[in-house]
Structure 1
């Protein structure tokens, strides 16, 4: 370690200790300070770690959490960035917080934003990349899905010996050759039958001949057992596969992966994909089925991912939404819930949410009109846009209330006619709501 690296590490760790003990913390500042002193500090901090990177549009946070839980069943030292600080300075702060036996095998499971991957892989060389999915998301920031995929492929190429473990059910992950070796996970739980994706679906053109792809099985959106009827493009062979899907509720799911039965304590088909990817990483590193089972069964809800918060007797389930595919999967999950329940929809359009809110018109809000929901509350900076969208979807004005502030949102929740409330919110709206819930004593901390 150079003198500059040692100084950067010392300053970073000292500032981290101060922030932890005398303030509410701060996930990125120690990393900013360390990088200022030594722009290559990540090289030093990460050199003894087996680094696994989780990236993609949806599912990064829960997949990262499940992967950490699975690996912890086998390995003593597993580091991660649980605060969501996935820019370079946040990654540095994560490594600065590391403790553990220097002689044991050390893992770092890092959630990294798609646009940040190339910046991070300038300094650290992961051994494994997990690609969850690529869906249309924040058009003002990422552009089309092909642009986003190029970002993560180029980022992975800076660590060419690292394996890409990708969702084999997504055509874009098989659309270009990569310098990295690839493995695939996916679903093989149904008999083949001929079908096409819904007409309002992105990413269904064959990358070779531009014909519309056909499917022998679809899970949701453009995920499934795809093939081109005009050329030889088709889904690759799966290295890790889900072969049976059992009981699924809005709070749990049962399934079989590579002959082993598993459960997760979170609902929705999209979360089964997250569990499948975490199990695939476990198998990749030789973790036994029993230990994978224990890791997936971990029942601590992740920030904003079906997080349950009690508000004066109301059981509020908070779910982050940010794009049409993710929203539709959340709606399908909610439809599995016992009736009755009230609905809260919070829409912001800040940079972290995506300034372009046109995506709300591609989400299947019409499904809510068939759920006999007795009360709907809209909030956030763009609450009027959300109210209009729900009105067009068929929600009656008589059951819908616009809340001008997050304090008012909470007051409306307290007066809801149901004990169960589902809260759908964009990223900054989640932060603002949780901050107000913390101010009122319903949760600890606003993050």
Structure 2
């Protein structure tokens, strides 16, 4: 039934990534376990970076294990994961190793590991995100550890630079990756940073160095809490700009085709999984080179003579990192900020006031546009950030935003959009013939 539903959706409609899973699960609530039984599984979860990390990990492992599947459309809840297995399901028996690299929503992890026992579960990071759905960061992390505990033999591979991942004991074995590229100094995180209290004594953590937000080589000056030993270390940042990043991991040089320090963490996590699966560095390098930009992550689309670069934003830390990345662009550009507040975006939009929109004052931005279902809220935020009211375009309708691209004073336009806004934007771009339908 699931495979038939998928065939019908893709043959007569424009596809569907979750409905086949919904129907299949309705008929057999335990079907996920049967579908995944012949696969060695890697799960990727966390607040930011899941989609790109999953894509990088998939390409890395594919160099050694060609029979590999993933869920590239972002359908990361249980029904979407069932649909992923249905897409590749065969009734024929195979003797070679099959791999599945699955992006899984943090709150859905417990529903997936109930049926799938992965070899590794990758924790990217935990930042404040969708407060109406998740609550604070410690609530998110408890969801993740509860999900991992249902597969106690799975190794948790996590960001050692994040204090929260070392804050509680787990039933699962753990290994850590992190940055080790700077000499020791003495720093403290910005006052508006979550997760900087020592879990043992509640003292404010200090850092030998900080990469961004609360990530870095942390320690507590009041007790013995400190960053754990790293199994996989980034040893040098060679170069990063708005389009690419080059770096060294354990002395080996790698490059990815996206900019930003936050994406280097994604690459380091994919490297860590690759090494756990015995993929040699040369193949990891090739996997990175073959990885393409994914949905809403520095995705470049041509509209006439304009280059539109779409970036998904959903929380303060992620938006701040994207602003840091686009600030590296040496050419003048225009900026469009699109804010929706649907369930998939997070209904609570108070996060925009914790994001550092003030940074745009330091950039070579020729035009700023506000749009989206909450256009008035983002327009006010941009005004408070220093954009003069007379210089701010307010265009609620995305159809009109796309039409206005041709009037932009620059060839490059960066779009910062929440999840459903990205979907709406891509749908309208497809309707106008600028991209193909789908992701």
With structure 2 as the length reference, what TM-score do the two structures score? 0.98
Counterpart for residue 109 of structure 1: 101
Residues 56 and 114 in structure 1, CA contact (< 8 A), matched pair in contact too: yes
Query: Is 2:297 the partner of 1:296?
Result: no
Which residue of the other structure, out of 387, 391, 396, is the alignment partner of 2:379?
387
Equivalent runs, 1:318-357 vs 2, <5 Å: 318-357=310-349
Query: Is 2:235 the partner of 1:243?
Result: yes
Residues 319 and 355 in structure 2, CA contact (< 8 A), matched pair in contact too: yes
Cα distance in 1 for partners of 2:134, 2:420 equals 18
Counterpart for residue 84 of structure 1: 74
Q: CA deviation at 1:297?
A: 1.3
Query: Is 2:189 the partner of 1:180?
Result: no
Counterpart for residue 297 of structure 2: 305
Residues 255 and 285 in structure 2, CA contact (< 8 A), matched pair in contact too: yes
Equivalent runs, 1:363-378 vs 2, <5 Å: 363-378=355-370
Residues 56 and 291 in structure 2, CA contact (< 8 A), matched pair in contact too: no
Residues 265 and 298 in structure 1, CA contact (< 8 A), matched pair in contact too: no
Residues 44 and 53 in structure 2, CA contact (< 8 A), matched pair in contact too: yes
Runs of 4+ in 1 over 6 A off after TM superposition: none
Secondary structure of 1:375 counterpart: strand
Query: Is 2:35 the partner of 1:45?
Result: yes
Q: CA deviation at 1:22?
A: 1.9
For each residue in 1:195-224, what CA deviation from the matched residue of structure 2 results, as whole angstroms up to 9, or x when unmatched?
A: 100111000000000000000010000000
Counterpart for residue 7 of structure 1: none
Residues 76 and 105 in structure 1, CA contact (< 8 A), matched pair in contact too: no
Cα distance in 1 for partners of 2:290, 2:329 equals 21
Cα distance in 2 for partners of 1:374, 1:48 equals 54
Q: CA deviation at 1:126?
A: 1.2
The gaps in structure 1 that reach 5 residues or longer are: 1-10
Residues 219 and 227 in structure 2, CA contact (< 8 A), matched pair in contact too: yes
The gaps in structure 2 that reach 5 residues or longer are: none
Cα distance in 1 for partners of 2:130, 2:411 equals 34
Residues 431 and 446 in structure 1, CA contact (< 8 A), matched pair in contact too: no
Secondary structure of 1:224 counterpart: strand
Which residue of the other structure, out of 45, 52, 55, is the alignment partner of 1:62?
52
Cα distance in 2 for partners of 1:368, 1:304 equals 20
Counterpart for residue 4 of structure 1: none
- How many pairs are equivalent? 437
Cα distance in 1 for partners of 2:364, 2:211 equals 26
Cα distance in 1 for partners of 2:400, 2:430 equals 15
Cα distance in 1 for partners of 2:27, 2:132 equals 33
Equivalent runs, 1:379-418 vs 2, <5 Å: 379-418=371-410
| CA RMSD in angstroms, aligned pairs only | 1.0
Residues 434 and 443 in structure 1, CA contact (< 8 A), matched pair in contact too: yes
Cα distance in 2 for partners of 1:134, 1:88 equals 21
Residues 113 and 151 in structure 2, CA contact (< 8 A), matched pair in contact too: yes
Counterpart for residue 3 of structure 1: none
Counterpart for residue 22 of structure 1: 12
Residues 339 and 372 in structure 2, CA contact (< 8 A), matched pair in contact too: yes
Q: CA deviation at 1:36?
A: 1.3
Counterpart for residue 358 of structure 1: 350
Counterpart for residue 430 of structure 1: 422
Which residue of the other structure, out of 166, 185, 188, is the alignment partner of 1:193?
185
